[in-house]
Structure 1
Amino acid sequence: MIERMKADFSIVFLCARLKVSVSGFHAWRKRPVSARAERRWQLSTKVLNVFVDSSRAAGHRKIAATLAADFGVHANRKTVLAIMRDLGIMPPAARAAFRRAAARARTTPDPGDLLERRFQDTVEPGTVLVGDITYVSTGQGWLYVATAIDLATRTVLGWASSKRQTAALVITALSRAIATGHVRPGAIFHSDHGTQYRSRRFMMFCARAGIRRSMGKNFECWDNAVAESFFSKLKNERLRWHRFTSRHAATREVADYIRYFNDRRRHQALGYATPAEAMAHLTRTTAAKAA
Structure 2
Amino acid sequence: MKARAVFDLRDDHRLPVLLAVSGLAASTYHYWRVRFQAHGPAAPDRRVDAIRAVLIQRRKRHYGWRRVRAELQVSGMFLSGKTVNRLMRQHDLQSPIRAKRFNSYRGDDAAAHPAAPNIVARNFDRDQPNRLWLTDVTEFALDGPDPRRVYLSAIKDTFNGEIIAWTTSTSPTVGFVTDMMKEAIGRNVLPADLILHSDQGFQYRHRKFVNLLAQAGVTQSMSRKGTCLDNSPMESFFGHMKDDMFRFESFTDPDSLIAEIDDYIGFYNHRRSQQRLDYLSPVAYRIRETAYLRNGGQMLYGLAG
In structure 1, distance between residues paired with 2:283 and 2:255: 26
Letter in 2 for 1:234: M
In structure 2, distance between residues paired with 1:167 and 1:215: 17
Determine which structure has greater relative contact order: mean sequence separation of CA pairs < 8 Å that are 6+ residues apart, divided by chain length.
Answer: 2
Equivalence for 2:74: none
Question: How much identity, in percent, do the aligned residues show?
Answer: 29
Give the deviation of 1:103 after TM superposition. 3.2
Matched, 1:246 2:253: yes
Matched, 1:135 2:159: no
Equivalence for 2:288: 281
Give the deviation of 1:179 after TM superposition. 2.8
Query: What are structure 2's unaligned runs of at least 5 residues?
Result: 1-95, 298-305
Q: Does the C-alpha gap of structure 1 residues 243 and 75 become closer, same or farther in structure 2, counting only changes over 3 Å?
A: closer
Q: Does the C-alpha gap of structure 1 residues 241 and 273 become closer, same or farther in structure 2, counting only changes over 3 Å?
A: same
Q: Does the C-alpha gap of structure 1 residues 239 and 208 become closer, same or farther in structure 2, counting only changes over 3 Å?
A: farther
Equivalence for 1:76: 100
Question: TM-score, normalising length from structure 1?
Answer: 0.62
Equivalence for 1:110: 115
CA deviation map 1:221-273 (0-9, x unaligned) = 11001110110011001134322121110111001110110001111222222
Q: Does the C-alpha gap of structure 1 residues 230 and 75 become closer, same or farther in structure 2, counting only changes over 3 Å?
A: closer
CA deviation map 1:113-169 (0-9, x unaligned) = 12111112x111011110010011125410100001111011100000011101112
Q: Is the 8 A contact 2:98 2:239 kept in 1?
A: no
Equivalence for 2:227: 220
Q: Is the 8 A contact 1:125 1:183 kept in 2?
A: no
Please show how residues 20-39 of structure 1 align to structure 2 within 5 Å: none
Count of residue correspondences:
198
Letter in 2 for 1:144: Y
Aligned-CA RMSD value? 2.6
Q: Is the 8 A contact 1:126 1:183 kept in 2?
A: yes
Please show how residues 79-158 of structure 1 align to structure 2 within 5 Å: 97-98=106-107, 101-104=108-111, 108-120=113-125, 122-138=126-142, 140=146, 141-158=148-165
Q: Is the 8 A contact 2:101 2:139 kept in 1?
A: no
